[in-house]
Amino acid sequence: MAKISIIGGGSWGIALAILLHNNGHQVTVWSALDSEVEMLQTNREHKMMPGVILPEDILCTGDDREAVEGKDLLVMAVASAYTRKTAARLSGLVAQGQKILNVAKGIEDGTLMTLSQIIEQEIPQADAAVMSGPSHAEEVGRGLPTTIVVGAKSKETAEYIQNLFMSEVFRVYVSPDILGMELGGALKNVVALAAGIADGLGYGDNTKAALITRGITEIARLGTAMGGRWETFYGLSGIGDLIVTCASMHSRNRRAGILIGQGKSYEEAMAQVQMVVEGVYSARAAMALAQKYGVQLPIIEQVNQILFAGKDPAGAVRELMLRDKKIEVSDAQW
């Protein structure tokens, strides 16, 4: 039995808390938000995931020391915009070599850093790892079979975390490619916005399949230029997560995209889905990275134009369809 704290009491944190509890671990859920701690203590469920009940012996707290000290693993499950703030707040309590598993997805606007890079900067003494893959909290919370990947610097840490999470409903693979996993997880949210926009415009399955296929090509093009492994983008944390995010109504990025395709601004769409839509921030970061690494991201560029330059979504699709003629596989030879 390990002692594990979930840092961030949202849908994903709660789903993982229950999974780890079912695996026999001693689990604590911590949140910076007093209202969230109180809701979890009183109702034993999160309003974002009604019907998924936290067992009584999971401690819910807002106390930093109680959450961090003596824990074998900290699972960082705060919305990505708060990763830095939360890491900085808890840093002084983290022991040398204490394991922190980031399960959020995003790229920081401005610094263009991945979330594990932020954690390493704010908590240099930690042993930072990541977990990513096609895994909606609503389904993990209900115990539906799910597969995922854990990335860590050492095989020992990756396998240690794999053992904590593995169960008959949660299969965990391991990988050394932390960067590829994080880029896949963050950038798929931008393509999910595009898939939602296509749905909002009333387009069909052909369009969706095109966006997924050409979308992962863009993600892999940027991701390999930055040092990620090509295979990672065609694995669970890449194409796997992209498929689930583009296809499922659980995806807030897709739901926001649908509203944007129907004519709403991204601010209006965010207000309506009542959640932070991380793809909006990652879209801007992706364009900055594309410029830095000199790669073309046509779909992601059009998403940026729609979000931030008021471009008409139908016009953006037309532009994508009519851009320069290409070979599908860039280095293919006759």
Task: Sort 112 into a burial class: Cβ within 10 Å, 0-12 / 13-18 / 19+.
Answer: middle
Q: Which residue has the tokens 């977990």?
A: 131
Confirm or reject binding of residue 105 to ligand NAD (CB under 6 A).
yes
Confirm or reject binding of residue 137 to ligand NAD (CB under 6 A).
yes
Nearest to 94 by CA among 72, 78, 114, 111: 72
Q: How many residues belong to the chain?
A: 334
Confirm or reject binding of residue 78 to ligand NAD (CB under 6 A).
yes
Q: DSSP code of 60?
A: E
Site string for ligand NAD, 25-64 (x = CB under 6 A): ------xxx--x-----------x----------------
**Choice between 182 and 313, CB closer to ligand NAD:** 182
Binding part of the chain for ligand NAD, among 52-60, 103-111, 218-226, 264-272 by CB under 6 A, reads 103-111
Q: Is 188 a catalytic residue?
A: yes
Q: What are the start-end ranges of the E strands in 112-250? A: 127-132, 146-151, 170-175
Number of residue whose CB is nearest ligand NAD: 10
**Choice between 127 and 278, CB closer to ligand NAD:** 278
Closest contact distance (angstroms) between CB of 127 and ligand NAD is 20
Confirm or reject binding of residue 79 to ligand NAD (CB under 6 A).
yes
Confirm or reject binding of residue 247 to ligand NAD (CB under 6 A).
no
| Of the candidate residues 4, 6, 10, 67, the single one contacting ligand NAD (CB under 6 A) | 10
Please, how many CA atoms are within 13 Å of residue 226, restricted to the half-sphere of its CB?
26
| Of the candidate residues 19, 60, 90, 104, the single one contacting ligand NAD (CB under 6 A) | 104
Confirm or reject binding of residue 175 to ligand NAD (CB under 6 A).
no
Confirm or reject binding of residue 278 to ligand NAD (CB under 6 A).
yes
Confirm or reject binding of residue 275 to ligand NAD (CB under 6 A).
yes
Binding positions for ligand NAD, 202-231, rule CB under 6 A: none
Residues 101, 74: Cα–Cα separation, whole Å: 6
Q: Point out the catalytic residue in the list 71, 99, 105, 188.
A: 188
Residues 35, 282: Cα–Cα separation, whole Å: 28
Q: Which residue has the tokens 């938000």?
A: 33
Residues 3, 278: Cα–Cα separation, whole Å: 30
Closest contact distance (angstroms) between CB of 250 and ligand NAD is 6
**Choice between 102 and 305, CB closer to ligand NAD:** 102
Q: What are the start-end ranges of the E strands in the chain? A: 3-7, 26-30, 59-61, 73-76, 99-102, 127-132, 146-151, 170-175
Number of residues that bind ligand NAD (CB under 6 A): 27
Strand partners, 171: 147
The residues assigned a catalytic role are 188
